[in-house]
Chain A
Amino acid sequence: MYSRILKRILLFYPTLFVLSIFLFMLKEAAVGDEVLSLCGGEIDVQDQIYQDCVRAYKLDKPSFYISVTPPFVDTEALASVFPEGRRSTFEKLLYACGDWDLVAKFDKQINEQFRVIEGLDADRIIALKSIKSTYFRGIGLDEMEGVIESLAQIFPLVDLEELTKGFKGIKGIKPGIWHYRPSIDFHGLDNRFHAWWRSAIVFDFGQSFRGRSVNALIKGSVKYTLLLNLIAFILSIISALGFVLFVSARSPRIQQKMDGLSSMLLAIPRFWLATLLIFFFANNILFPHLSFFKIGVAGSTSGVSSYFQYLGLPIFCLAFPIVILLYKLLRENINVELQKQYVQAARARGLTEKKIFRSYVLPNAINPLLTSIGSMFSRLLVGSVIIESIFFIPGLGGLLFDAFMSNDWPVLYALCFISGIMTLIGYILSDILYFLFDPKLRIGGLQNV
């Protein structure tokens, strides 16, 4: 058992590392032009802000320690091509022809041509800008032909022979399969992943796409989630125990009915429960007498009853499935324990049923539940997402939802990272708890749990 806990703790960092690789890959895949998202609005590549942003976030560095690409791709040079769309066009041309020099030359020429605005009237400047934006959107070979034709129309006097020749050269090459063979490059520690992971590991998640830093956003909303979940969790443990004690003292028929009812209540999703509760208890139009509760966040000057008005429904919705789940698990464990021989022995010794139940069966039935606390700990965030977005509570779940809706990936990955860490810690925690409360494991039985 010691070895098991040790194994989990030793596995913590490798797991976290692989987890952050996954998250980073998703981030790289999902985000378009990160610079534009970070600075907001329309900025040109030539602007100082753009260059500063690129340098500050090491965006012009390769993405990982190593890269496996076809040999004609120079990853470090490709990473420093900006903006994102230009790089995409560059990559498309590169993979189509498989010759770095040709594409680099063509790209340089066409970008120099974009910059020439001397002697052009307003219409032509606008046309040039639209072509430029097309090029910076990331286009392939077939669209490139149109771009060059339009360039020729805008600059009738300039000889674009070099450009056309470069393009024909790119188009003429059809590389064979052998050209796409893998070659491995090492980039050292100066890469984007390393920068991201080094700051993420000390919980510094950088800037969100909505202006504020991710840490400030999380700090502002973590109190709501913690408060809600803590109250809901404590309440649900107390009420589940109460229900179990209440039902266990009734007749077997009622016990059976209640167990059946609990498995039906377990199927109720939180969001539906929330919708129904809002319909009945926060509906001023249809049920003005019932609508005691309110939706949103209480002001800072309001009293306790007003807090209850705002937090009552969300806490109920958060606690409801946990109560039912704990009730079901406890009842199942109790039924198993009641069949065991030590109960019969206790009965033979003349103990009362109540005494047997409270001091023998119940503690033994609670023990296995401690493991599930770890997994509940990790599901906290996921459970809050729906409830907080329904009740308009600015907690972590609401933050996650908003971040998803507005494609705010830094916030999204920060939250995923935190919830991943929480899951891993929860795993270790539940193991230790299990170990502390179950003497069987301490002696070293039960190898394969």
Chain B
Amino acid sequence: MFKQLLLSIKQLWFGLWSFNPKFPVRWMLVILFVGIFLEFLASDKPIVAKVEGSWYMPAIGNTLFEVGLNKRYNTIRRYKWSKHDAFMIMPLVPYASTSIDLKNASFKGPFDEQNYTSIRYRHWLGTDKIGRDVLAGLLNGCRVVLKIIFLVGIISGFLGLILGGFSGFYGDDMIRWSLSKLLVYSFGGILFAYVSYMLLKLQILESSQLELSTLLLAFLIPVLGYVIVGLLHKLVFANRLDVRLSIPTITIPLDSMFYFVIVLLTALPVTVMLLAILSYFQTPSLVLTMSLFGLVLWKGIARIVRGEVLRVKGEDYIEAARQLGLKSGQIFWKHIYPNIRKQFYVVVATVVSLSLLIESALSFLGIGMAVGEISWGVLLNQGKLNISAYWLSLFPGILLVITVYSLNTIAKEGKRRN
């Protein structure tokens, strides 16, 4: 078991320097593992403990409680586990990322003399200013990375695929709407935009801050509204009144509109915009920040998707599918999407690595980030306070570089294999 562990570490180490594409995949698997099983690796509560004759799993108890699988045990919540002598199995790192060890505060290095009762409680990678364990922080950083990957990847990937796919698929001359449809839709759009604006305004006036649920509702209302407006238009106008009244048809330059939005997003200082939006929320959480990142980072994905759709659109089988009478949506999901899927994943990976860098840079500067969640950027920020505490800037930096490198390499490898 130990030998195997040593072997896999050796493989990882040599894989790193052979620039083998296998290494990045393994590294991301390591991050995935640590991110998921964080509580078993680093926690100030034991994994398994026997208190007064009954068994508990305090390390994951809180998480289980949040999911709803567990009830809160008030008896063991406030135990000082490091002083307790009941039977228990502590995790490998007996500190949580946020637990404060005042005995070893003010930048204790890995080789400095430390104040501990048992060697298991040593801070192997040192502590920061208020005595938080760096190793536990690094492990918690893996979970932050996972959160960023999933949130930014899913949100920006979805937006990029839909918007880029639409503009590539329909181009400048494929959408022909009758004037009635255009009017009904734009009227509906303005109306529902007003409704969600009013909703947000009333909420801000009432409680002087935004809530996530209201924001979601404000996004959902226009979408729902468009569905209703579309149905209404179909019932009243489509194919009947349009023809009878000979209402003219208008071509909508979707692609040009898309181009305009892309240029605008490039010229906008996205980060400043995000921070200004974040200043509305009293407690910015990591999830919120990353969701907002996802909402603005779809630009690159949409561009690539558009190009790929343009490439695939001219193929014969698309024309054949069209002649067979398939609808646009069917053609897109059954014939185009499988052909652009790989390129799509590649560009999502690059965007995710970019967002990792942005998050760490913002945390490093100490702006706009959530309090209480230790990421690699937060540790780097702590290292900025004391330039001689190299352990605070060296280790998280190395992990960050390797992770970004891995994501980039996976993306590059995916591009090469296409």
Contacts and interface: CB of A to CB of B under 8 A. Distances in A.
A373 B271 CA distance: 21
A404 B275 contact: yes
A277 to B, nearest CB: 11
A169 interface: no
Contacts of B35: none
Contact of A92 (B205, B267, B387): B205
Nearest to B366: A405
A294 to B, nearest CB: 13
A401 B404 CA distance: 25
B393 A275 contact: yes
Interface in B249-275: 260, 263-264, 266-269, 271-273, 275
B266 A378 contact: yes
B266 A272 contact: no
B364 A386 contact: yes
Nearest 8 A/B pairs, CB to CB: A260-B19, A267-B405, A267-B404, A420-B267, A272-B397, A416-B269, A423-B267, A26-B276
Contacts of B364: 271, 386
Contacts of B268: 19, 22, 416, 420
B409 interface: yes
Contact of A15 (B197, B264, B276, B387): B264
A378 B270 CA distance: 13
A189 interface: no
Contact of B408 (A16, A91, A267): A267
Nearest to B199: A180
Interface string A273-296: 001101100010110000000000
B279 A91 contact: no
B112 to A, nearest CB: 14
A224 interface: no
A448 B390 contact: no
B384 interface: yes
A283 B390 CA distance: 11
A272 B397 CA distance: 6
Contacts, number: 128
A283 B201 contact: no
A261 interface: yes
Given A140-B206, A180-B198, A404-B275, A279 B264 contact: no
B360 interface: yes
B401 interface: yes
A95 B361 contact: no
A11 interface: yes
Interface string A245-277: 000000000001101110110111101100110
B266 A427 contact: yes
Given A18-B264, A30-B279, A279-B393, A272 B380 contact: yes
Interface in A404-449: 404-405, 412, 416, 419-421, 423-424, 427, 448
A275 B383 contact: yes
Interface string B358-395: 00110011010000000000001001100110100110
A389 interface: yes
A264 B405 contact: yes
B55 interface: no
Interface string A292-320: 00000000000000000000000000000
B90 interface: no
Given A29-B280, A269-B401, A278-B387, 9 more contacts: A26-B273, A68-B194, A92-B205, A140-B205, A269-B404, A271-B380, A275-B384, A275-B393, A423-B267
A138 interface: yes
Contacts of A420: 267-269
A257 B387 contact: no
Contacts of A22: 264, 268, 273
Contacts of A261: 19
B217 to A, nearest CB: 16
A448 B205 contact: no
Contacts of A423: 266-267
Contacts of B264: 15, 18-19, 22
Given A264-B19, A271-B380, A420-B268, A91 B205 contact: yes
B393 A266 contact: no
A95 B202 contact: yes
A404 B273 CA distance: 12
A140 B201 CA distance: 14
A382 B400 CA distance: 20
B161 to A, nearest CB: 19
Nearest to B198: A180
A81 B6 CA distance: 72
B191, B272, B394: most-surrounded residue (chain A CB, <10 A) = B272
B269 A419 contact: yes
A375 B18 CA distance: 32
B129 interface: no
Nearest to B405: A267
A182 interface: yes
Nearest to A266: B408
A30 B269 CA distance: 15
Contacts of A92: 205-206
A271 B361 contact: yes
B357 interface: yes
B272 A404 contact: yes
B310 interface: yes
B401 A404 contact: no
A257 B18 CA distance: 8
Nearest to B280: A29
Contact of B401 (A259, A267, A285, A421): A267
Contacts of B206: 92, 140
Contact of B194 (A182, A285, A416): A182
Interface in A365-380: 375, 378
Given A272-B397, A279-B393, A424-B263, A405 B367 contact: yes
Contacts of A182: 191, 194
A180 B198 CA distance: 8
Given A95-B201, A386-B361, A420-B269, A272 B263 contact: no
B205 A285 contact: no
Given A22-B268, A92-B205, A271-B380, A264 B401 contact: yes
Contacts of B26: none
A14 B275 CA distance: 25
A30 B276 CA distance: 6
A77 B273 CA distance: 30
Contact of A382 (B271, B275, B310, B394): B271
B412 interface: yes
B208 interface: yes
Contacts of B408: 263, 266-267
Given A271-B364, A276-B397, A404-B275, A263 B263 contact: no
Nearest to A425: B267
11 contacts: A18-B264, A138-B208, A140-B205, A263-B19, A263-B409, A263-B412, A266-B405, A267-B401, A390-B384, A405-B367, A412-B272
Given A15-B263, A275-B393, A401 B380 contact: no
Nearest to B376: A272
Contacts of A382: 269, 271
A401 B19 contact: no
Nearest to A412: B272
Interface in A73-98: 91-92, 95-96
A279 B269 CA distance: 31
Contacts of B260: 11, 14-15
Contacts of B279: 30
Contacts of A424: 263, 267
